[in-house]
Structure 1
Amino acid sequence: MAEPLPTADGVKENKLWKWVFAVSGILITLVIYGVLQEKIMRVPYGVNKEYFKYSLFLVFCNRITTSAVSAGSLVASKKALDPVAPVYKYCLVSVTNILTTTCQYEALKYVSFPVQTLAKCAKMIPVMIWGTFIMQKKYKGFDYLVAFLVTLGCSIFILFPAGTDFSPYGKGRENTVWGISLMVGYLGFDGFTSTFQDKLFKGYDMEIHNQIFYTTLCSCVLSLTGLIFQGHLLLAVDFVYRHNDCFLDIVLLSTVATASQFFISYTIRTFGALTFAAIMTTRQLVSIMLSCIWFGHPLSWEQWIGAIIVFGSLYSKTFWKKVSPAPTPPQQTENGSSSPLKGIP
């Protein structure tokens, strides 16, 4: 006997609970992640006020946790662990992703978390550039307008700080030039990573956990190799051994970073890239406000204007596409959000 079809109310209620699950999961994990990464990189530990300086060690911890969880998911679901694409393609994604995350952590030594978070909003510009070269994508005039407004808002936010925001790695005022250079590197590498992942995912019949597993496994090997060659592995281990609170912070950071990836993958697959973009914009806004309150970052009135321009533009882009009479197919997103590793911290 055939099972009764679900009612319209039941479908709506089920979708609502899925939406609540996705939104709360992404916001909680990534907001906690943002607070923790600023605490680890900018707040001293112990009575001697020592700063944790080993960014690549954080990358290694994050990736080995994610790799283990994704491998467990593949085994539990009885899916093949064999690579679907050539291994060198996973490695290429891993290299640029490691560079992306390292630039992100290093930038926090020189610029405040609100500056870094708002600068991340400008990632659509390098994604559009890489998308043109790698995917031969075409963009509308409205997309370029939004990209310009986001860049303008970010520039205002960075150029008009409210007084001095202390950096443990700069003399007096933050070393903004080097910090912004690291953020430019972050945006460039992140744009390439997400675009190439998008192409990789479309070119192969690839399961989400398969790509996550092999990409993060390559990242583990590469980041561990980098730590050994830099001579930082034992120094980082010694630091966390002497500072238990730092060890706990890194464990929690790796946990929420891993959890966020699966929430991101779930959201993109269930609701599409536009909903994901709106959630991520909200997350960035919440993270900036929480950081300003938690760590006492002052904001000038010019920075408030810059933030309004940025987030107003991003929300306008999201809602404009939702009401567009001819929406872009989900698999052809021009911001690269269809990649399951788009938001990998």
Structure 2
Amino acid sequence: MAESSSPSTSSSLSVEPSKLWKGTFAVTGIMVTLVTYGLLQEKIMRVPYGAEKEYFKYSLFLVFCNRITTSAVSAVSLLASKKAIDPVAPIYKYCLVSVTNILTTTCQYEALKYVSFPVQTLAKCAKMIPVMVWGTLIMQKKYHAPDYLLAFLVTLGCSVFILYPVSDISPYSRGRENTVWGVLLMMGYLGFDGFTSTFQDKLFKGYDMEIHNQIFYTTLCSCILSLTGIIVQGHLIPAIEFVYRHHDCFFDIVLLSTVATASQFFISYTIRTFGALTFATIMTTRQLVSIMLSCVWFSHPLSWEQWIGAVIVFGSLYAKSFWRKAPQKTTSLVQNGDSNNLKENP
């Protein structure tokens, strides 16, 4: 009599390939979208367009393009899923997230005028400290000694990376580098980003809110506010004229908005399928790959002190990912405040 495989064995064999394909899909999606996003924002803000070597200067216009794309996609998602499209929280709370999110992204784009993309990316890793500060003030969260040690090591590595650059021989430096102003903009980015993610966490906990509902109303407010800001600054017409003159810039902006929106889908899918801990590891790898590609693509040299700083930062982040035991539920990780360190703000 022939032996038949047990149901449990056949089930485990079918589950493993499925999990492998899901993991490959998640990792590929995040790496492709966010690495492309990083390279594109550096190209748009630092590489001149056309024979006249014109530079794109309108950061708020990029914010508007990103937000209107995300708002449209989230509205379609809400309608397709037939979920509640009415605002769950008071509109002013969505607007508060929108304002700080716009300031976050604007500081991020503006900083690229004064510091290189590798410096900016490493500095983003230091967002733990403002997140911990805002978490304590807004959510009354408590952090433990390992959390403070990790934040200290990451901040130390970032400081070494920023303070010990080589003379940048990149052809796209064009002599307007200003480390002090760039660092101030990155400090603004970290402070606003820490508040944004912490307040978003508070909204999710305080209201029965779907993620697409928050994305839709937050980005809708961002569209209105960023468009108002562009008009008040008098940059709307010059920005449109610039992309009209330089069609390659227009396609760069369209692609930037597309990958920024797509990355939100892959981020949500990865956290929902594999948990926040796996996502944190993927994001750390993505930052490392982005820095390496930027150094090669845009000819950024690194000093040996910067290599040491990078090793301290990524070594600390990987140590956290591999040594910390994964919680049984993603929500328990969110309650400890770690979710605030994970999500990007394209």
TM-score range, shorter chain: over 0.9
Task: Say if 2:273 is the partner of 1:270.
Answer: yes
Task: Say if 2:250 is the partner of 1:247.
Answer: yes
Q: Give the TM-score normalised by structure 1.
A: 0.93
Cα pair distance change 1:57/1:325, threshold 3 Å: closer
Q: Distance in 2 between matches of 1:31 and 1:335?
A: 22
Q: Tell me, yes or no, if the aligned pair for 2:122 and 2:158 is still in contact at 8 Å.
A: yes
Q: What does residue range 258-297 of structure 1 map to in structure 2 within 5 Å?
A: 258-297=261-300
Count of matched residue positions in the alignment of Structure 1 and Structure 2? 339
Q: What does residue range 127-142 of structure 1 map to in structure 2 within 5 Å?
A: 127-142=131-146
Partner of 2:216: 213
Task: Say if 2:12 is the partner of 1:32.
Answer: no
The alignment yields a C-alpha RMSD, in angstroms, of 2.1
Q: Distance in 2 between matches of 1:167 and 1:132?
A: 44
Classify the secondary structure of the residue corresponding to 2:101. helix
Classify the secondary structure of the residue corresponding to 1:317. helix
Task: Say if 2:329 is the partner of 1:315.
Answer: no
Partner of 2:182: 179
Q: Distance in 2 between matches of 1:39 and 1:284?
A: 17
Residues 320-329 or 91-100, more deviating = 320-329
Unaligned runs of 5+ residues in structure 2 are 1-6
Post-superposition Cα deviations, 1:270-326, rounded to whole Å, max 9, x if no partner, equal: 222211111111000000000000000000111000000000001111112236899
Which amino acid in 1 is paired with 2:338?
Answer: N
Task: Say if 2:155 is the partner of 1:160.
Answer: no
Query: Shift of residue 7 of structure 1?
Result: 1.6
Partner of 1:331: 334
Query: Shift of residue 168 of structure 1?
Result: 7.0
Q: Tell me, yes or no, if the aligned pair for 2:168 and 2:300 is still in contact at 8 Å.
A: no
Query: Shift of residue 118 of structure 1?
Result: 0.4
Q: Give the TM-score normalised by structure 2.
A: 0.93
Query: Shift of residue 166 of structure 1?
Result: 5.6
Task: Say if 2:65 is the partner of 1:43.
Answer: no
Q: Distance in 1 between matches of 2:257 and 2:75?
A: 16
Classify the secondary structure of the residue corresponding to 2:177. coil
Residues 105-114 or 271-280, more deviating = 271-280
Identity %: 78
Q: Tell me, yes or no, if the aligned pair for 2:95 and 2:218 is still in contact at 8 Å.
A: yes
Task: Say if 2:315 is the partner of 1:306.
Answer: no
Partner of 2:90: 86
Partner of 1:118: 122
